[in-house]
């Protein structure tokens, strides 16, 4: 994970970001692709990467920042080592996913979009991906775990906290 502080680091960051964006051109609708690449490289969109993206695509920085904050999949803070996404879809919801959310938030003491203080685990608000035969479910680093009950969720979180596999 790279972090950016200070003016010289900022220029370096801009250079590095522009390398990542090679092949993308202004005026062709490449902003989302550019941000996906930045997020793929750093795990999130560092504030210092925004000028580089803006320069490369000849867009105002405000427009890049606007897109970063508009779309829920772009994060502005480093991701956790293990991301638990809670599915917010209706099939999960009517089968009690709200109880799973209470367990997750209660046990990890963090809300949706936040990480535990040591950044080992974090919660993410997931949107339905249509694997509703396993509802209610969570995805641990993208892998579906379900169907869950509150007690199974407690056990899952405890396993993850202990550093075990889901």
Binding mask 140-159 for other proteins (x = CB under 8 A): --xxx-x--xxx-xxx----
User: According to CB under 8 A, which residues from 49 to 68 bind other proteins?
Assistant: 57, 59, 63, 66-67
Choice from 2, 11, 19, 72 touching other proteins (CB under 8 A)? 72
What is the CA angle 94-142-67, rounded to 5?
90
Give Cβ neighbours of residue 31 (< 8 Å, ≥ 6 apart).
Answer: 53, 57, 59, 63, 64, 67
User: Judged by CB, which is closer to other proteins: 106, or 111?
Assistant: 106
Q: Which is nearer to other proteins, 7 or 109 (CB)?
A: 109
Q: Are 87 and 136 in contact (CB under 8 A)?
A: yes
Residues near other proteins (CB under 8 A), total: 54
d(CA 138, CA 92): 9
Under the binding rule (CB under 8 A), the answer on residue 71 touching other proteins is: yes
β strands within the chain, DSSP E? 82-87, 121-126, 138-140, 143-145
Residues 6-25 that bind other proteins (CB under 8 A): none
Q: How far is CA 29 from the centre of its chain?
A: 22
Residues that bind other proteins (CB under 8 A): 27, 29-33, 35-36, 57, 59, 63, 66-67, 70-74, 88-91, 93-96, 98-100, 102-103, 106-107, 126-135, 137, 142-144, 146, 149-151, 153-155
């Amino acid at each position: 994970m790279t972090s950016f502080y200070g003016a010289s680091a900022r220029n370096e960051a801009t250079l590095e970001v522009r390398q990542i964006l090679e092949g993308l051109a202004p005026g062709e609708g490449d902003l989302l692709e550019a941000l996906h690449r930045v997020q793929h490289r750093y795990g999130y969109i560092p504030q210092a990467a925004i000028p580089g993206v803006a320069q490369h695509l000849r867009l105002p920085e405000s427009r890049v920042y606007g897109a970063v904050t508009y779309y829920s999949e772009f994060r502005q803070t480093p991701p956790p080592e293990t991301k638990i996404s809670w599915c917010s879809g209706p099939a999960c919801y009517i089968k009690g996913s709200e109880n799973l959310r209470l367990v997750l938030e209660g046990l990890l003491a963090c809300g949706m979009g936040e990480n535990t203080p040591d950044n080992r685990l974090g919660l993410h608000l997931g949107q339905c991906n249509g694997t509703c035969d396993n509802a209610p479910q969570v995805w641990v680093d993208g892998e579906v775990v379900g169907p869950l009950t509150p007690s199974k969720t407690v056990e899952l979180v405890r396993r993850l906290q202990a550093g075990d596999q889901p």
